[in-house]
Structure 1
């Protein structure tokens, strides 16, 4: 084999190796592109889920706000009921005192009739 033949064989081998390297690079590029697209699709799905969760959180916050308002309203009503109950209890005590006084008056009237 002459130097010329060896040079041609060497350059052919280098050319084949370069073609193989380019093919490998293209295949790796394709795989990388597919992975990136897969990740992009997953990100889109996650973004949709996050958006849905944000909507749900917003709805929950609104529900909590409404519940807080309802609880405050109920607290006011309970306070009013407690005031009414206290007033009723005071009225009953007054009525019992009045009844007791009336009984004392009736007993003393009865005694006066008994004495006469």
Structure 2
């Protein structure tokens, strides 16, 4: 074998090796792209789920807020009724005190 033949053979082997390395790089790049796209799809699905959950929670919070507002109005009404009842109880106590005083006065005037 001549040096020319050995050089050509070496060049061919190096060229084939470079072609193989480039093919391996292309396969690795394609695999990486597929993985990235898969992650992107999973992120989109997760984002859709999170969006749905947030919307559901917003609706529930709005409903709860309405119920709390209604409950607050009812508590305010009840507080007003209790205040009114307290005033009536005070009036009733005053009336009972007056009636008791009248009865005591009547008993004193009656002969024993």
TM-score (ref. length: structure 2): 0.85
After TM superposition, list the pairs within 5 Å mapping 1:23-34 onto structure 2: 23-34=23-34
Return the alpha-carbon distance in structure 2 between the equivalents of residues 106 and 38 of structure 1: 99
- Runs of 5+ consecutive residues of structure 1 not aligned to the other structure: none
Q: What residue is the counterpart of 1:41 in the other structure?
A: 41
After TM superposition, list the pairs within 5 Å mapping 1:1-116 onto structure 2: 1-111=1-111
Which digits, 9 at most, give the CA deviation of each residue in 1:25-51, with x for residues without a partner? 121022112101110111111111210
Return the alpha-carbon distance in structure 1 between the equivalents of residues 102 and 76 of structure 2: 38
Which digits, 9 at most, give the CA deviation of each residue in 1:49-108, with x for residues without a partner? 210122023113202321331232123123112212211211221221232133134324
Return the alpha-carbon distance in structure 1 between the equivalents of residues 3 and 60 of structure 2: 83
RMSD of the alignment, in Å?
1.9
Structure 1 stretch displaced more, 99-108 or 7-16: 99-108
